[in-house]
Amino acid sequence: MIKVGVTGGIGSGKSTVCRLFAELGVPVYEADREAKRLMSQDPLRSQIVTRFGTIDSAELASRVFSNPEELAALNAMVHPAVMADFCVFCGQFSPRLAPRQGEVPLVHPPSSSLRNGKTCPTKFHKNIPSSEPKYVIMESALLFSAGLERYFDVTLTVEATVEQRVEWVRRRDGYDEAHIRMRIAAQGGFERADFVIQNNGSEDDLRHKVSKFHTYFKLYSPCVMGIVNVTPDSFYAGSRTSERQAIETRVKEIVAEGCDVIDIGGYSSRPGADPVSVDEEWRRVGLGMQVATDVAPCVPVSIDTFRNEIARRAATLRHDVIINDISAGELDPKMYAAVAEADAIYIAMHMRGRPETMQQHTQYDDGGVTTEVERYFEEKIAQLHAHGIDKIVTDPGFGFAKTLIQNYELLHGLHRLKRFRMPILSGVSRKSMIYNLLGVTPAESLPGTIALGWESLRQGATILRVHDVREAVDTVKIFECYEKCR
């Protein structure tokens, strides 16, 4: 489970965004509201009265928002208490995130805490899952100005124009324009957020954007991507499903076994595979998407393609489609524009050359394959950000332009990709790095796949892309239990 900090200045719409996350079942801690509760209770109340001479919120706001030093002094009092309270809140869902003895001063259980298995009524804390959620959110307007961002795995800010914010706050709270602009000027640091949601005033638009981030944030925790090959020539014969009935059977199977994402491909990347036209690839991918949507409309779908035409057509079929590109845009320069226009989650994989030539490009410099892959993603992520693509998943590309030994060197150093603070996909299922090493066939490579899946998780991978979903789901469950005991 990761911690997500959601912020935005007064009138930005961050509360609406957090409400939409909560409607999707995400636990949300309202730091601004909980801070008021903590400030009304001792010992914090007495400390504030001693320092500022008042506890009245209007008087405090008028005083501190016009004086940066006073604001910093108030933050220094309030926010340690808020973070301690947030730790207690997180501890309800994950023992690993609960405060340890002597680590954080426990101030007070949050008003939204679970008691006897029931959720106390609060504004946003609804639909809280019974099992450990993939992530929790803290909503705070002062996330950056108070220096709280270091406590979070990722941060998200909600933005709107100053004119929109002034108008919205004036209608909502009745403040005059000068007071609102003073409040806006006092809040800052939002440009340091990892992600941005632009609020244009449409709640439907915000709902679409929140839905995509909800899918993306879940990819930061271990999950399973089930492969659906709508092809007649994928390297593993057992994965080929080219007709509608076979696709439907396959989708039902992997959903029942617990896959988190359905990955649909219509063009085999196996060396020696027959070329496929754009129209034929779309016939296959479109059919797979239609079946997946009919069978499991709530399960996210990714499409395995390097063509912008396929990505664009897929985005018209499902607004939340994930684009899984084995070339990371190297084989189609128009791919970035297609992904950006769809505001899609983008899986960028490392590969050299084309699938039919990639094994001719396995010469890496003295730094080795892992250093090359790490350097590649430094440049690639910068390129993607420049094109307006922010929801990125890194895939080191096991088996693509790597020798057998290089694949294992890369697996050994996979943890180095964690520094990009993005989900990491590991695609080792039944690949040649297993069956060539063991002298077996792809059909006999399940035990090796399970072993490498475990090591991938241990090294920091968060997505296992597999043919055998049940075994991968079991591996994730065992791994998560193991991690809780560390």
Beta partners for residue 295, in sequence order: none
**Residue of 352, 418, 465, 470 with catalytic role:** 465
DSSP string, 38-70: HHTSTTHHHHHHHHHS---HHHHHHHHTT-HHH
Q: What are phi and psi of 461, to 5 degrees?
A: -65, 145
* Cα 94 to Cα 279: distance, rounded to the nearest angstrom: 47
Secondary structure of 77-128 as H, E, C letters: HHHHHHHHHHHHHHHCCCHHHCCCCCCCCCCCCCCCCEECCEECCCCCCCCC
* Cα 416 to Cα 394: distance, rounded to the nearest angstrom: 12
From residue 242, alpha-carbon distances to 228, 232, 250, 276, 410 in Å are 10, 6, 11, 14, 33
Note if 3 is an active site residue.
no
Tell me whether strands 2-7 and 135-139 are parallel, antiparallel or unpaired: parallel
Note if 465 is an active site residue.
yes
Residue 179's nearest CA partner among 26, 66, 292, 336 is 66
Residue 383's nearest CA partner among 413, 426, 414, 339 is 339
Q: What are the tokens at 168?
A: 């919205």
What is the enclosing helix (H) or strand (E) of 168?
helix 162-173
Neighbours of 62 (CB within 10 A): 13
Q: What are the tokens at 369?
A: 């394959």
Return the axis-axis angle of helices 244-256 and 278-295, rounded to nearest 10°.
50
* Cα 325 to Cα 346: distance, rounded to the nearest angstrom: 7
Is omega for the bond preceding 43 within 30 degrees of 0, making it cis? yes
* Cα 79 to Cα 85: distance, rounded to the nearest angstrom: 10
**Residue of 312, 431, 458, 477 with catalytic role:** 431
From residue 486, alpha-carbon distances to 102, 263, 291, 480, 483 in Å are 19, 32, 41, 10, 5
Contact present, 216 and 260 (Cβ < 8 Å): no
Catalytic residue annotation: 431, 465
